[in-house]
Copies of this chain bind each other. A is one copy, B any other.
Amino acid sequence: MALIVQKYGGTSVGSPERIRNVAQRLLEAQREDNDVVAVISAMAGVTDNLIKLARETSPQPTDREFDVLLSTGERAATALVAMAVNALGGRAISLTGAEAGVLTDRIHTKAKIANINPRLIEELLGDGYIVVVAGFQGQTPEGETTTLGRGGSDLSAIALAGALGADACQIFTDVDGVFSCDPRIVPEAMKMEEIAYDELLEMAGAGSKVMQSRAVEFAKKFGVPFEVRSSFKSAPGTVAKEEAANMEDVVIRGISVERKQAKVTLDDVPDTPGAASRIFSAIATANILVDVIVQSASDRNTTDISFTIHQDDLARAEELLTPVVQQIGASRVSSHGGMAKLSVVGIGMRSHSGVAARLFECLGEGAINIELISTSEIKITVVIAEKDAERAAQLTHETFGLARSGVAQGPVR
């Protein structure tokens, strides 16, 4: 008898028909001699609708009440899934995050899981129930409802799998797994059989939307392997796990592309302590996310600082930076929209030299100009013109032989 945790996202429970499909899958897993715990998100659209209601009711909704409100979405979905299992002749019971023993800190709307006490789940599993747990939520030590922030249901599933010592954790979603690149950009993109946590983290940070970074980080920290797979097909997906020795044989695991980027450059920033801080504090006040930051080497007493932001934030950023340029004594701020970020990711980079050279060479042969370069231990990111992004991804995908490194399953859509 194995213990399996299955997580279903909002699209997977988006209609009564899909909920019945989920129920069927849960029963199949149980029939294959598994104890089954399901972690469920709110039905697609429900959370957005509740957020809209909150904003229409109050300009700044109270965090505590916001959590009470949002938590109802998952709670309703778990009840529907449990009903559907029962209607098919199974025995299921729904639990809130609190009932499932998910204890969090007191930071409403983005609580962190502090501890999990899965006593009730274990008891119900022992009684033969399929246990359907509301994802995305927990409770404080005082019993107040909290939510874990967007994508928190993945986190719930992985944390429960860890606490229960589950034999498998399956994240069911609307894609077939993690691909070597977005198949809409590179039709030859392959579904990976496996990926190291760190690679998935870098892919997520670089724009791949399969999993939230927080959930992957949690899985890495507590060593909980999980599989990302489709809730609409029966094919296996991609297993994320600790890196194994042989995983380094693959130099580049995948490519991420993020469009609609803008590059902002401040010229001749005085090379004094605090200058960079003034710049990024100004941006941070408007909650604008800054990504690639590059400071060019300086042999004068000034330096140039460039960074990328989302194109939609560009006007606001320019507005905020204009006074800062004067205050710190830089010469000017310039910016360009219409950019894209392309990242190649792979733990193999650590033991293989020449990856960056091969990437730049391939882009050069394609006459694609590189605006910015940023590297980490297992990732190289280049900022290029958005109009070149698709071609760059295809060239890179081919150069690193990614169409041969995965398992042939065809693109998602």
Contacts and interface: CB of A to CB of B under 8 A. Distances in A.
Contacts of A53: 16, 76, 80
A69 B76 contact: yes
Contacts of A64: 93
A157 to B, nearest CB: 20
Interface in A283-322: none
A32 interface: no
Residue with the greatest number of chain B CB neighbours at <10 A, chosen from A72, A78, A87 = A72
Contacts of A333: none
A58 interface: yes
B60 A16 contact: no
Contact of A65 (B50, B59, B60, B82): B82
Contact of A83 (B20, B66, B76, B87): B66
Contact of A59 (B19, B66, B78, B87): B87
A94 interface: yes
Given A72-B72, A72-B75, A80-B54, A87 B60 contact: yes
A84 interface: yes
A394 B83 CA distance: 50
Contact of A62 (B16, B58, B66, B82): B82
A303 B132 CA distance: 57
A53 B60 CA distance: 31
Nearest to A43: B53
A328 interface: no
Interface of A is mostly: helix
Contacts of A19: 57
A125 interface: no
Nearest to A57: B16
A185 to B, nearest CB: 37
Interface in A67-125: 68-69, 72-73, 75-76, 78-80, 82-84, 86-87, 93-94
A377 interface: no
Given A68-B94, A78-B68, A83 B56 contact: no
A61 interface: yes
Given A66-B83, A79-B65, A57 B94 contact: no
Interface string A9-35: 000000010011000000000000000
Contact of A57 (B54, B80, B93): B80
A42 to B, nearest CB: 10
Residue with the greatest number of chain B CB neighbours at <10 A, chosen from A61, A68, A73, A84 = A68
A58 B83 contact: yes
Contact of A68 (B50, B66, B75, B86): B75
A16 B66 CA distance: 14
Nearest to A17: B56
Contacts of A20: 57
6 contacts: A20-B57, A58-B86, A65-B94, A68-B79, A72-B73, A72-B76
Interface of A: 16, 19-20, 50, 53-54, 56-62, 64-66, 68-69, 72-73, 75-76, 78-80, 82-84, 86-87, 93-94
User: Across chains A and B, which 10 residue pairs bring their CB atoms closest together, nearest first?
Assistant: A16-B56, A58-B87, A69-B79, A72-B72, A68-B79, A58-B83, A65-B79, A16-B57, A72-B76, A65-B83
